[in-house]
């Protein structure tokens, strides 16, 4: 968890505070942007803009509130703005369509799932390294428990127990998402 | 394992489901009456698709943290009051700006109090400009020079290009946006004739002491051209476009058609600003 006085130090531009905040939330900001924009370079641009805009608006931030939801709000807005900026760029035959054409300026498809992206990423990042690695290999790389055990050179029982613990943690942390969407 | 009635435990059900996504008869029977397992498995199913997506695992480049810190520090050290600012700035903020010019990291509280007196648009433009320049090359900027005002949202610097005698009357616009991957540059130069058949244009960045860095080739700048540079634009502040041919010679032909320099840096030409840039050189 970020230290209690992080917001105050971030407001002063303290480099250590900026780094602390980035390390706590940078990947989650990136996740929101990457899912919305579908492009690494743009997502990195969104991360930089999010933290810069957060710093510019830090005067208005209430220290008693949590930094995470505030950063998420900025990240989501920055991602939408970047998406709209990119959508306005000329693309071949669409050049003939006016810039103000509403059909050209829509919300990114996954922006409605921005909160889910944020929560999932924070939950994944909060897993112990060994458990996170197993979950990644299982879901992202599509490996079986036996294949993971071979890849990591650990007993398959270790893989099962790590997977079990990790999914318990994820379920506990992300249960509210299911309640929200059900 | 946490044992329960019915011969199978919560943990065994969960482990089996995680391994194969399939439960045997005993597991199904347990699941039918166990709300705890139903909840956990529903959560796993709900996030399974998301956990297979890149956003859950991809990480930004390692340079991004430094870029974020540098951008905020540069903004913090930005001059508060431009010469054209219509409203005076509090003395404390001015003192902070002075300290910033010497490289001292200035607490922002004082600066923020000073900002309240200055028009928001002016602050945004000046702060963003100073941010960019400070990040790229603080030391090379002569005092008193005007700095290009970047787009207040994107932070991109816009640079105007002039045609040389090889492209009289042609003008162009360049937007340069520093990113963690490099400087992303877009070029628009409507009116520049298309070159084909082994002939093309090449864009360059040039340092004050004449070092040329190629940043891409193209046929036509009537459409937006995207270029990337791996050098800091404050150290390579002159943007040029030359005519080239596919002749196995990687050096510049010297046939310059467009040129422009960042405001506040060495000009693209020593000629008066109303004259076109020279046609020779990269």
Residues in A closer than 8 angstroms to B50, CB to CB, are 116-117, 120
Q: pLDDT tens for residues B153-181?
A: 456 677 889 898 889 889 898 888 777 67
Scan for tokens 């998406």, then name that residue: A83
Q: Range of A71's domain?
A: 1-109
Q: Most distant CA pair in chain B: distance in Å?
A: 92
How far is it, in rounded angstroms, from Cα B237 to Cα B232? 8
Residues belonging to chain B: 282
**Number of structural domains found in chain A:** 2
Mean pLDDT across chain B: 69
> Is A115 within the bounds of a domain?
no
Cross-chain CB nearest to A52 (options B46, B71, B180): B71
B266 contact partners, CB below 8 Å, separation of at least 6: B208, B237, B238
| pLDDT score at A137 | 95
Query: Do B201 and B239 touch, CB atoms closer than 8 A?
Result: no
Is any Cβ of chain B less than 8 angstroms from the Cβ of A40?
Answer: yes
> Is A120 within the bounds of a domain?
no
Q: pLDDT tens for residues A103-130?
A: 444 555 566 688 889 999 999 999 999 9
| pLDDT score at B158 | 78
Q: Domain of A88: which CATH number?
A: 1.10.1740.10
Residue A25 sits in the same domain as residue A87: yes
Q: What is the pTM of this model?
A: 0.54
How far is it, in rounded angstroms, from Cα B205 to Cα B233? 8
| pLDDT score at A102 | 45
Q: For residue B149, how many other CB atoms are within 10 A of its CB?
A: 18
Query: Do B252 and B201 touch, CB atoms closer than 8 A?
Result: no
**CA–CA distance from A63 to each of A73, B111, B166 (Å)?**
16, 19, 60
Which chain A residue's Cα is nearest to B20?
A: A144
Closest CA to B168 of B256, B263, B244, B238: B256
**Chain A 95-154, residues with CB within 8 Å of chain B CB atoms:** 116-117, 120-121, 124, 135-136, 138-140, 142, 144-145
Domains contained in chain B, CATH given: 5-56 (no CATH), 64-137 (no CATH), 157-261 (2.60.40.200)
End-to-end CA distance of chain B, in Å?
Answer: 73
> For testing the chain B interface, which of A9, A30, A31 should be mutated: the one with the most B CBs within 10 Å?
A31
Q: Hey, are the CB atoms on A34 and B112 less than 8 Å from each other? A: no
């Amino acid at each position: 968890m970020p230290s209690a006085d992080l917001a105050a130090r971030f407001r002063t531009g303290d480099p250590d505070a900026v780094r602390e905040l980035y390390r706590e939330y940078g990947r989650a900001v990136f996740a929101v942007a990457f899912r919305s924009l579908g492009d690494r370079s743009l997502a990195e641009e969104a991360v930089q803009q999010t933290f810069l805009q957060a710093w510019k608006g830090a005067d208005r931030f209430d220290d008693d509130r949590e930094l995470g939801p505030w950063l998420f709000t900025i990240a989501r807005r920055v991602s939408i703005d970047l998406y709209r900026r990119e959508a306005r760029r000329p693309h071949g035959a669409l050049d003939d369509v006016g810039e103000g054409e509403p059909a050209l300026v829509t919300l990114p498809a996954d922006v409605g799932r921005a909160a889910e992206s944020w929560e999932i990423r924070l939950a994944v990042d909060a897993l112990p390294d060994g458990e996170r690695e197993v979950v990644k290999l299982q879901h992202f790389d599509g490996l079986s428990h036996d294949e993971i055990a071979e890849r990591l050179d650990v007993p398959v029982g270790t893989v099962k127990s790590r997977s079990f613990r990790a999914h318990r943690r994820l379920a506990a942390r992300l249960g509210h998402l299911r309640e929200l969407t059900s | 394992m946490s044992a329960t009635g019915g011969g199978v435990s919560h943990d065994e059900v969960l482990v089996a489901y995680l391994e194969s996504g399939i439960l045997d008869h005993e597991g199904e029977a347990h699941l039918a009456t166990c709300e705890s397992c139903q909840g956990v498995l529903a959560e796993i199913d709900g996030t399974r698709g998301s956990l297979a997506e890149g956003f859950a695992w991809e990480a930004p480049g390692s340079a991004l943290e430094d870029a974020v810190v540098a951008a905020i520090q540069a903004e913090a050290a930005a001059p508060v009051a431009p010469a054209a600012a219509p409203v005076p700035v509090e003395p404390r903020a001015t003192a902070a700006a002075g300290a910033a010019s010497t490289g001292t990291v200035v607490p922002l509280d004082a600066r923020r109090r000073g900002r309240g007196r200055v028009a928001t648009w002016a602050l945004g433009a000046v702060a963003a400009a100073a941010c960019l320049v400070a990040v790229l090359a603080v030391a090379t900027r002569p005092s008193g020079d005007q700095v290009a005002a970047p787009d207040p949202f994107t932070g991109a610097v816009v640079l105007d290009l002039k045609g040389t005698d090889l492209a009289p009357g042609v003008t162009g616009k360049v937007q340069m946006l520093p990113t963690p991957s490099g400087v992303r540059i877009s070029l628009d130069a409507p009116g520049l004739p298309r070159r084909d058949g082994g002939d093309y244009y090449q864009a360059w960045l040039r340092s004050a002491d004449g070092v040329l860095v190629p940043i891409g080739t193209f046929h036509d700048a009537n459409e937006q051209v995207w270029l990337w540079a791996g050098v800091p634009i404050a150290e390579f502040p002159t943007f040029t476009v030359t005519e080239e041919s596919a002749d196995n010679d990687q050096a510049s032909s010297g046939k310059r058609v467009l040129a422009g320099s960042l405001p506040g840096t060495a000009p693209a030409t020593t000629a008066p600003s109303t004259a076109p840039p020279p046609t020779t050189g990269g």
